[in-house]
Structure 1
Amino acid sequence: MEALFSEFTLLSDQALRDKNFDPSTIEDLMKLFEVEAYKAWANLELEADNEVQKAHDYMRDSEEYLDSVMDSAMAEFRRFEEEMDRVSTAEHDGLVGAAEKARKMGKNLEKAATFASKKYIEAAVNSATASMRSAVKAISSNSNKVHPS
């Protein structure tokens, strides 16, 4: 392109100095400019197409990477969720087992308390009965004796 500009400058100077200058020589030069412009335009379009293709490739690679990262994250989340389900189930089962043991122990303590209270009442009744017998005996043995008053 530089060579064409130099040639155009020379022809322009010649056209200004020479009255017999043929304008068709400039027209031929202008056709060369047109060819060069088309070549430059084609090269720019090719470069633009290449850049567009690179951008598409980069976007595809980025989408694939994002999909891969998202798949990994979801897989990790699923593993975490399964682990939490397993831990919470084990903890729940442990609490249910402890509650069942506490319920059984409560029933046993209730039975023991009921048994102890029955034995206590029985002992109290026996003691009261013995006291009454003793009192009746004391009264009956003292009824023969008359008080001197």
Structure 2
Amino acid sequence: MLQAQVWGVAYEIPPEQEMSVTKQLNVREQRFNKRKSVTMYCPSGELLSHPVLVYVGSNEPELFLGDATLENMAEQIARSHGPSGANSEYLFQLARFMRAEVPQAHDDHLFQLEAAVKELLTKSSEDHPQIDCRHSE
């Protein structure tokens, strides 16, 4: 059986803000069709006293590449944008978080994917440089 760990950050939301925050999250995470309450452990192994809400993606063809190569995943991430911005920026922030907050979690796949996306974006910007068309005097 496959066992994996998912790392992240949990935020405690004051009860008076719960509806507003949940509404905003439902917009931001609208492409994920499942909300799930899960148990969360701290890196120390300590169990949080209450469950946390996570949004889970589906394997619908428009959102899921399936058994794709690293190159295919990098291409998809490099060219995709969602309601919250560029998928590449999300990936880069995730990699920064993992390096800073969970250095003991050696996620080679994440860091290889980060490098592949950065390479694609660098190549793309070299192939299509931006031109400043503003008038200067």
Larger radius of gyration: 1
Relative to its length, the structure with more helix (as a share) is: 1
Instruction: Give the TM-score taking structure 2 as reference length.
Output: 0.25
The structure with the largest strand share of the pair is: 2
Select the structure with the greater relative contact order (CA < 8 A; seq sep ≥ 6).
2
